[in-house]
A and B are shown apart, each in its own frame.
Chain A
Amino acid sequence: MASVEQEVIRIIAEQAVLDPADVTPDSTLADLGIDSLGLVESIFAIEEAFDISVPFNANDPSASGFDISTVRSIVTAVEGLVAQKA
Chain B
Amino acid sequence: MKRVVITGAGTINALAHDVPGTFEAFREGRCGITELEIRDKDRLSIQIGGQVHHWDPEAHFNRQQIVLYDKFTQFTLLAAREAVGQSGLNFDGHLGYEAGVVLGTAAGGVNTWDENYRTVYEEGKNRVHPFVVPKLMNNAAASHISMEFNLKGPSFTVATACASSNHAMGQAFNMVRSGMSRAMVTGGSESMLCFGGIKAWEGLRVMSKDACRPFSLNRNGMVQGEGAAVFVFEEYEHARKRGAEILAEVVGFAMTSDASDIVMPNKQGAARAISGALRDAKLNGEEVGYINAHGTGTAANDKTECAAVADVFGHHADTLMISSTKSMHGHLIGGTGAVELLACIMALKDGVIAPTIGYEEPDPECALDVVPNVAREAKVDVVLSNAFAFGGLNAVLALRKA
**What residues of chain A have their CB less than 8 Å away from a CB belonging to chain B?**
36-37, 40, 43-44, 53, 56-60, 63
Q: Are B262 and A56 in contact (CB under 8 A)?
A: no
Q: Are A58 and B206 in contact (CB under 8 A)?
A: yes
| Other-chain residue from B204, B219, B262 in contact with A58 (beta carbon distance below 8 A) | B204
Give the CA-CA distance A60 to B300 in the complex, in Å: 10
Within the complex, the shortest CB–CB distance from A78 to chain B, in Å, comes to 16
Give the CA-CA distance A4 to B262 in the complex, in Å: 32
Query: How many residues does chain B have at the interface if contact means C-beta atoms less than 8 Å apart?
Result: 15
Give the CA-CA distance A26 to B83 in the complex, in Å: 60
Q: Are A40 and B262 in contact (CB under 8 A)?
A: no
Q: Are A59 and B206 in contact (CB under 8 A)?
A: yes
Q: Are A37 and B205 in contact (CB under 8 A)?
A: no
Is B372's beta carbon under 8 Å from chain A? no
Q: Which residue from chain B places its CB closest to the CB of A36 in the assembled complex?
A: B264
Give the CA-CA distance A56 to B264 in the complex, in Å: 18
Within the complex, the shortest CB–CB distance from B146 to chain A, in Å, comes to 39
How many A-B residue contacts, CB cutoff 8 Å?
Answer: 32
Q: Are A59 and B262 in contact (CB under 8 A)?
A: no
Within the complex, the shortest CB–CB distance from A77 to chain B, in Å, comes to 15
By CB atoms of chain B within 10 A, which of A43, A60, A63 has the most?
A60
Specify which chain B residues have a CB less than 8 angstroms from the CB of A53 in the assembled complex: 45
Query: Can you name 25 A-B residue pairings with CB atoms under 8 Å?
Result: A36-B263, A36-B264, A37-B262, A40-B203, A40-B204, A40-B205, A44-B203, A53-B45, A56-B205, A57-B205, A57-B206, A57-B220, A57-B221, A58-B204, A58-B205, A58-B206, A58-B221, A59-B206, A59-B219, A59-B221, A59-B298, A59-B299, A59-B300, A60-B220, A63-B220
Within the complex, the shortest CB–CB distance from B94 to chain A, in Å, comes to 52
Give the CA-CA distance A40 to B219 in the complex, in Å: 19
If A57-B220, A59-B219 are given as contacts, then 10 extra A-B residue pairs at C-beta distance below 8 Å, sorted by A number, are A44-B203, A57-B205, A57-B206, A57-B221, A58-B204, A59-B206, A59-B208, A59-B299, A59-B300, A60-B220
* Contact digits for B261-276, partner A, Cβ 8 Å, 1 yes 0 no: 0111000000000000
Within the complex, the shortest CB–CB distance from B194 to chain A, in Å, comes to 21
Within the complex, the shortest CB–CB distance from B355 to chain A, in Å, comes to 22
| Residues 376-395 of B at the A interface (beta carbon under 8 Å) | none
